[in-house]
Chain A
Amino acid sequence: MAKKVLLEKAHIKGIRAYDVYKAQGGYASVEKALKMDPAAIVEEVKKSGLRGRGGAGFPTGMKWSFLAKPEGVPRYLVCNADESEPGTFKDRYLMEFLPHLLIEGLIVSSFALGSNSTYIYIRGEYAWIVNILEQAIEEAKQHGYLGKNILNTGFDCEIYVQRGAGAYICGEETALIESLEGKRGNPRIKPPFPAIKGLWDCPTVVNNVETIAAVVPIINMGGEEYAKIGVGRSTGTKLLSACGNINKPGVYEIDMTISVEEFIFSDEYCGGIPNGKRLKACIPGGSSVPILPANLLLKTAKGETRYMNYESLSDGGFATGSMMGSGGFIVLDEDQCIVRHTMSLARFYRHESCGQCSPCREGTGWMEKILTKIENGKGQSSDIDLLWDIQRKIEGNTICPLGDAAAWPVAAAIRHFRDEFEWHVNNPSLCLTENYGLAHYADELSIVS
């Protein structure tokens, strides 16, 4: 049984309410942290090795230490609850079932960073969760953990929930800030980074929901203890949201020492694939990260077992590996068509491109059209090369990473499943009624070293 530090108490009846949460040891980290020097809290987070749980995996303590502290200028902490990466629904679970864990983490983090007004930017569709969070904030306020002069320390803090209105791009931190300022979610050119010039041009830290929640166990147990969970630079626990063709979709907390195979097939997690089907492919970290065929997913190109952590999932780079990303784990069984699935993701990115940069604005639409053509039996062999060419021209040529996020799924699909694309092109009528199937994608790889 993997160690749990976030969802340990998620199943306790009534845990959403303050009294039950408090009786379970809730708000201990606030009591502890507010007696500490804010700089010492940042040190603990650094020692914990915590990496941003939104997808990029950047060390949180380091991000915090970049925050500028000019005299007389307010600083802001903004919590990114704009969870929108296809395959990802972990933050929703955390906020829905353990709202006080997020509020507790936000109070400690606000104190550490000196934020007196902290904003939770939540995706507009999570409308009912806004009420859950606002209730938790109200309860925390009634019990003196928010408001003026918290625990007689002289520290004032308010937390506000701001609803978005439907835009994947607002998960990108500078787009989120623009949106919070009441504008279109167009990402900003960096530098300056938000740590210098963020919300209303003030120094700002933007952190994911799960990252903020992890601050609670870090303060409670100490950064060094927290860093003992996990392996190597993948410290602590990670929430994974598993979906697609599996028996037990849902949100799981893992300690990053289990293998990918165990995660998919053990009853403790995904519980295997329904209807006796075989595993064809998987996107392990949200729709933007490279898709891997079964053989490269379970083992690295070197033939070693692949584990559910940052390093192992990215072993082999993009040539033969993928990424931990947001933890959105999407499983495809042998009946799924890679072209069709890639087409669906391309449509998503075309829909969500903000339109600022031409490579992304034009390229995403172009990729969707070509994929639709191939999927409908109207593709030509040259279309596959054209697709490859377009994705390569988007990657790295846009203001924000949405361009890369749109390019990577297409690149990986062609890289690993090119013969399935060719089969579509060469069998224009057959591909409308039949599937390419599992083919050789689960075969043991013969390694050329």
Chain B
Amino acid sequence: MLKFSDDKLKEVKKIIDRYPQGKQKSALIPLLHMAQSEFGGWLSPESMDYVASLLSIDPIEVYEVATFYSMYNLQPVGKHIFEVCQTGPCMLNGSDNIINYIKTKLNIGVGETTEDGLFTLKTVECLGACGYAPMMQLGDHYREHLTKEKVDAIIEECRGK
């Protein structure tokens, strides 16, 4: 059985307290973020059901939200996810070259994970870093002004973690 730690459960209560009585469903999106980061980087049916039970809502209400938002992973992912932006302004600055370089370097396609389970490559739409293009999201942070050399360094950095 999946369960948040006591500390996380305190955090859950704090989040629910932000909303008026009976409106605890508002905590769903924050709780799904928490479940994803606590339970292996993706949302399994089991972790979604757990979140539903915490908020006293039906599991279907969780599934319909989890499938709508692009930040939730509905299948297992690698330890490090390269989410490379491919929208207009990044494209003008060579995001296609960066995506192709990562594909070759890691020998995976978009949406795939390396055999050692370390890296997943995703393409994403505009992340609001257009002036610092090309860029990608890695965990909770952005990596900007990407070049092949920078990508090499990021891969090494991740391997060292």
Contact = CB atoms under 8 A, between A and B. Distances in A.
Contacts of A344: 86-88, 91
Interface in A59-84: 74, 83-84
B70 interface: yes
B26 interface: yes
Interface in B33-64: 33, 55, 61, 64
Contacts of B92: 243-245, 330, 332, 336, 341
Contacts, number: 145
A183 B124 CA distance: 22
Nearest to A158: B18
Contacts of B142: 125
B91 A182 contact: no
B27 interface: yes
Contact of A164 (B61, B69, B126, B140): B69
Contacts of A83: 128
Nearest to B20: A200
Interface stretch (B5-13, B103-111, B130-138): B130-138
B146 interface: no
B131 A89 contact: yes
A316 interface: no
A160 B17 CA distance: 10
Interface in A79-93: 83-89, 91-92
Interface residues of B, number: 41
B29 interface: yes
Interface in A115-137: 117, 119, 123-128
A287 B88 CA distance: 8
Interface string B87-125: 111011100000000000000000000000000000011
Interface string A163-201: 111111000000000011111110000000000000010
B158 interface: no
Interface string A223-255: 000000000000000000111110001110000
A89 B129 contact: yes
Nearest to A354: B68
Nearest to A89: B128
Contacts of A181: 23, 25-26
A318 interface: no
Contacts of B87: 86, 287, 344-345, 347-348
B126 A162 contact: no
Contacts of B69: 124, 164-167, 185
Nearest to A244: B92
A165 B91 contact: no
Most interface-central of A128, A158, A160, A344 (chain B CB within 10 A): A344
A84 B89 CA distance: 13
A352 interface: yes
B68 A348 contact: no
Most interface-central of B29, B30, B86, B93 (chain A CB within 10 A): B29
B89 A127 contact: no
Interface in A95-146: 117, 119, 123-128
A83 B65 CA distance: 20
Nearest to B64: A184
Interface of B: 18, 20, 23, 25-30, 32-33, 55, 61, 64-65, 68-72, 86-89, 91-93, 124-133, 137, 140-142
Given A165-B70, A249-B130, 19 more contacts: A86-B88, A86-B89, A87-B130, A88-B130, A123-B128, A124-B33, A124-B71, A125-B137, A128-B141, A165-B32, A165-B72, A168-B125, A182-B55, A184-B68, A244-B92, A244-B130, A250-B131, A341-B91, A347-B125
Interface of A: 74, 83-89, 91-92, 117, 119, 123-128, 158, 160, 162-168, 179-185, 200, 241-245, 249-251, 283, 287, 328, 330, 332, 336, 340-341, 344-345, 347-348, 351-352, 354
7 contacts: A165-B32, A179-B29, A243-B92, A243-B133, A341-B91, A344-B88, A347-B125
